[in-house]
Amino acid sequence: MAAVPAVPTHTLNDGNAIPAVGFGCYTGTGGDPATLVASALASGYRLLDTALRYDNEDAVGAAVRASGLDRDDVVVTTKLPGRLQGRGAAREALETSLGNLGLDRIDLYLIHWPLPRLDLYVDTWRELIAFRDEGLVRSIGVCNFTEAHLSRLIEATVVVPAVNQVELHPYWPQDALRAFHAEHGIVTEGWSPLGRGALLCSAEVTAIAETHGVSTAQAVLRWQVQVGSVPLPKSSDPQRQRANLDLFGFALTDEEMATIAGVDHERLSGQDPDEYEEF
């Protein structure tokens, strides 16, 4: 296998480690997931992010098993969907994901959305704690939880999520939530770190990228690494996959960081975790 970019790690609050950049395996917009994930692993990604909802866990698991990599060297993330929140149902979700992946453990298991209207996320979290204690999953966390949702979990169970994966990119930098995470030892992961490609049209960011001899995407992703978030970029192209991981040979100045954070702030598509429902 060709040399791959060196990627540092974050140590989670349970002592496990995850790479500082991961690969977003969502392929709802096209592309063969097995080919994409095989190429991401060959490019050097060791953190994979999928979900039962994405309907591609079988391809992700097959790519991991076929990669020839030591199982302990790859962090496989998947997520529990809204339709299977709650006691009992959560175990069905886990067993389905383990079966789809064809793996005997999940490295990072996340609640996909809080769905506060259902009011099942605390019960679901108790199930994830049990899965971790049984050794079926290594680390547990959540996605799209607000400070209020996180506080409720912590008060009810005293178990702090290892990770909260949220929409995060310069258009939606999540400063207050990131500060809360830092205070509680929660690692932030960012979905749609390139703003689904929209950020690549920013002339200011492109000018900064040019001064470092990198692509606009690399500058945007480096901004996320420097704010302490773990970006999960998606790409169907092996060269872009590799470039998106190659973020550790340059650093943005404080001024450049501020310029990138200074773009207009707006969510991508109105997915407010207090309201948004996905099952």
Catalytic residues, by residue number, are 54
Residue 170 or 233: which CB sits closer to ligand A2P? 233
Residue 75 or 84: which CB sits closer to ligand A2P? 75
Residue 174 structure tokens = 């999540």
CA distance 208 to 245: 18
Residues 230-249 that bind ligand A2P (CB under 6 A): 233-237, 240, 243-244
**Does the protein bind ligand A2P through residue 13 (CB under 6 A)?**
no
Provide the angle, in degrees to the nearest 10, between the axes of the packed helices 33-43 and 238-245.
Answer: 40
Q: Which one of residues 39, 77, 188, 192 is an interface residue with ligand A2P (CB under 6 A)?
A: 192
Which segment (60-68, 88-96, 111-119, 194-202) binds ligand A2P by CB under 6 A? 194-202
The DSSP secondary structure of 100-121, one letter per residue, reads HHT-S-EEEEEES---TTT--H
Residue 33 or 233: which CB sits closer to ligand A2P? 233
Binding mask 152-191 for ligand A2P (x = CB under 6 A): ----------------------------------------
Q: How far is the CB of 176 from ligand A2P (least distance, A)?
A: 22
CA distance 55 to 35: 15
Q: Which one of residues 9, 215, 226, 271 is an interface residue with ligand A2P (CB under 6 A)?
A: 215
CA distance 142 to 80: 9
Q: How far is the CB of 207 from ligand A2P (least distance, A)?
A: 16
The DSSP secondary structure of 154-190, one letter per residue, reads HHHH-PPPSEEEEE-BTTB--HHHHHHHHHHTPEEEE
Q: Are the C-beta atoms of 116 and 144 separated by less than 8 Å?
A: no
CA distance 33 to 202: 29
**Does the protein bind ligand A2P through residue 12 (CB under 6 A)?**
no
Q: How far is the CB of 202 from ligand A2P (least distance, A)?
A: 12
CA distance 167 to 188: 10
Footprint of ligand A2P (CB under 6 A): 24, 192-197, 200, 215, 217, 233-237, 240, 243-244
